Amino acid sequence: MGILRTIIPFVCFCFASVLGTGNIALADDAATVKVKLYATIVQGAKPLKDDRIAWSISPLGEDGTPMQEMTSAAPEVQLVPGRYRFTAKLEYATAMREITISEAAKYELAFEAGWARFQMVPNRKAKPLEENVQWQIYRYSKSGVDEKRKLVEVAAPSVQLTLPPGWYSVRAKYQGIVSDIVAEVKAGTLYKYTVVAYAGKVRFTAVDAAGKAVKKDVVWTIERVSKSQGGKRVPVTVDQTSAPHLMIGEGQYVAVAKSGNLVGETPFDIEATREKKVTVKLKQVNTAAAASGG
């Protein structure tokens, strides 16, 4: 009997320990709540179904769930009750909320942003270009395009961006075309902008002193003559094909061609929708004298 009295309390103690451990586990499970998140372009709009939305969740107290980051259209997370900062980012739009979490719930983060879509046409009657255009998007400045205010540069036939409300400078480059526009973005609205290049086409040929076409190692630089800058020549494109066929915006230009120590240049004008041929006669240049300034 003495042995039995000893064993029974021991068994009871083990059983109580198991129950105690189980209760702790249940308490840990109950300590977090499920939080569902979704983003909208403006408050009250339909949830965005964009898997590129980047989320971060940061506790504002020491007892909260450690910081989490994920990329998802509508993430679900388990959080210890407490106060958190929720941030969502999509391209150039950001939404942030500080929320006290006490129970399972669903929360909206509104970007209060809009969209802008850009495409280019050579002239008003032409279809949008299907080849890549170099798009440069800047925050607007009264002084003009400012490289310090550049947001993004994208090579694509057309581009659509999520942007905060405001004004933007947009520069589109294609072959010999450089076109600038100013675009507005309003929250909750998709603006579709078409850049009209008012361009013509030019076929360039380089010839030597005898009038024979030069086809080897020709480098072309097309320079726009800027009236606003007192006739200053501004390069708009460089091409290394022997006889390029380029689309160029309206205006006055100079075509500069180089092949080894042969160099030549020819001024020309462009009118929208017109095609023309430009021939540049190359002449021998004494590179040593040119380098020394003689």
Tell me: the pLDDT tens digits for 33-77? Answer: 999 999 999 999 999 999 999 999 999 998 899 999 999 999 999
Return all residues near 146 (Cβ < 8 A) that are at least 6 apart.
138, 139
Angle at Cα 268 formed by Cα 266 and Cα 269, nearest 5°? Answer: 170
Residue 294 lies in a domain: no
Please provide the average confidence, as pLDDT, over all residues in the chain.
Answer: 88
Residue 9 lies in a domain: no
Residue 214 lies in a domain: yes
pTM reported for the whole predicted model: 0.77
The tokens describing 109, both together, are: 């983060």
Q: Residue 280: what pLDDT?
A: 97
More confident residue, 140 or 3: 140
Residue 19 lies in a domain: no
Q: Residue 231: what pLDDT?
A: 84
Q: Residue 286: what pLDDT?
A: 73
Q: Residue 96: what pLDDT?
A: 98
Tens digits of per-residue pLDDT, 11-22?
A: 333 333 333 333
Q: What is the number of structural domains in the chain? A: 3
Picking from 56, 82, 110, the residue at the C-terminal end of a domain is 110
My answer on whether 137 and 184 are in the same domain is yes
The tokens describing 121, both together, are: 């046409």
Residue 167 lies in a domain: yes
Region 249-266 average pLDDT: 95
Residue 82 lies in a domain: yes
My answer on whether 204 and 180 are in the same domain is no
Indicate whether 189 pLDDT > 90. Answer: yes
CATH number, domain containing residue 244:
2.60.40.1120
- Domain range holding 44? 33-110
Strands 166-174 and 133-139 turn out to be: antiparallel
My answer on whether 88 and 152 are in the same domain is no
Picking from 110, 145, 179, the residue at the C-terminal end of a domain is 110
My answer on whether 46 and 100 are in the same domain is yes
Q: Residue 230: what pLDDT?
A: 82
Per the document, the length of the chain is 294
Residue 129 lies in a domain: yes
Q: Residue 288: what pLDDT?
A: 54
Strands 262-270 and 283-284 turn out to be: antiparallel
The closest alpha carbon to 107, from 96, 118, 119, 91, belongs to 96
The tokens describing 15, both together, are: 């059983």
Residue 234 lies in a domain: yes
Region 261-288 average pLDDT: 90
